[in-house]
Amino acid sequence: MALEDAKSQVDTAFTRKGLRGLAFENAFGGATSFLRRTYTKDLTGVDLAITGVPFDQAVTHRTGARFGPRAIREASALQPYDPPYGWPTNPLEELNIIDYGDLAFDYAKVADFPDALTAHIRNILAAGAGSIALGGDHYITLPILKAYAEKFGPLSVIHFDAHSDLWQDDDFSRIDHGTMMYKAVKLGLVDPARSVQIGIRTHCDDYLGMNVIDARDVHEHGTKAAVAKARAIVGANPTYLTFDIDALDPAFAPGTGTPVWGGLASWQAAAMLRDLAGVHLVGGDVVEVSPPYDTTGATAIAAAHVAHELICLYHWSRRKE
């Protein structure tokens, strides 16, 4: 750690010169952008934009995920001092990464939210950058996928979750976090044969051709086997990774709206994310962090680590191109 920098740095979210480099200001002070990246709406020269989506009006149980982006940013203040552990590269030094701030929307006009979010992500992609979204409930992935599919065509999706989110619902005006993947498949945004869901441990009547590696499979056969299967499924296709924090067992991530026992341990998620290096990641999100139920902050900390790993995966796929 650069002690002299630590003594003098503060509010690097606003005072940083340039878009690259580690940050050493006190973890307990300053403006908490994600990983202390520069807060800006200027996408010129940006490789990757981190953006918050504080929306939780699609939940079926406990609310609170609207506060997720703020909590994840605060938790990320523990991480920007050093290169990411276990990676041979450092995206904070080698990519232009910004915190693009949150999506602005009228909370009282819920029906307008999906198009607002799609336009928000479309703007990032049009500038030549990728996006990592901090949720928010899991519905947000559907409008994001719409923007990505416009650019890349039907995507492969790696979907970490306790739930398949494939509840059947052909009313596409409904906004529900339990049906977002069903609608993504039905709309042709996702290629189910080249997509995989990991950590599932709740009932689903019809997986619509999605490949599934449930939580018990990971526990019994290990992370390496799960990653090998996932990599074979997505191949070289443009891939979006969505990580519902309830993929983790409630022992590791209690602060979420619909917790389910028997989930992944944090070390299993960390190992799988690391070993997915090389997939053609075009974007991702981490969702369903509900700070009112996260009394120790462990859930937000886990989500901040997931988002950091997504940044590393995004960087790694570009180094391989």
Say whether pLDDT at 112 is over 70.
yes
pLDDT tier for residue 3 given thresholds of 50, 70 and 90: low
In sequence order, which ranges of 51-210 are alpha helices (DSSP H)? 68-76, 91-94, 113-126, 141-152, 180-186
pLDDT of residue 53: 98
Residue 42 counted as an annotated binding residue: no
Say whether pLDDT at 321 is over 80.
no
Domain range spanning residue 108? Answer: 3-319
CA atoms within 13 A on the CB side of 166: 22
Average pLDDT over residues 175-193: 96
- pTM for the structure as a whole: 0.96
Residues near 108 by beta carbon (within 8 Å), at least 6 away in sequence: none
Among residues 149, 121, 123, 137, the alpha carbon closest in space to that of 175 is found at 137
Residue 163 counted as an annotated binding residue: yes
Residues 89 and 75: their CA atoms lie apart, in Å, by 22
Residue 170 counted as an annotated binding residue: no
Say whether pLDDT at 204 is over 80.
yes
pLDDT tier for residue 2 given thresholds of 50, 70 and 90: low
Average pLDDT over residues 304-314: 98
| Mean of pLDDT over the chain | 95
Residue 159 counted as an annotated binding residue: no
What CATH number has the domain bearing residue 311?
Answer: 3.40.800.10
pLDDT of residue 6: 73
Burial of 248 (0-12, 13-18, 19+ CB in 10 A): buried
Tokens representing 221 are 């056969």
Residues 210 and 73: their CA atoms lie apart, in Å, by 32
Residue 244 counted as an annotated binding residue: yes
Say whether pLDDT at 5 is over 80.
no
Residue 165 counted as an annotated binding residue: yes
Residues near 178 by beta carbon (within 8 Å), at least 6 away in sequence: 60, 163, 165, 167
Give the tens place of pLDDT for each residue, 32-59: 999 999 999 999 999 999 999 999 999 9
Average pLDDT over residues 179-196: 98
Residues 290 and 315: their CA atoms lie apart, in Å, by 28
How many domains does the chain divide into?
Answer: 1
Question: How many other C-beta atoms can be found within 10 angstroms of the C-beta atom of residue 266?
Answer: 18
Say whether pLDDT at 132 is over 70.
yes
Residues near 233 by beta carbon (within 8 Å), at least 6 away in sequence: 156, 194, 195, 196, 211
pLDDT of residue 312: 98
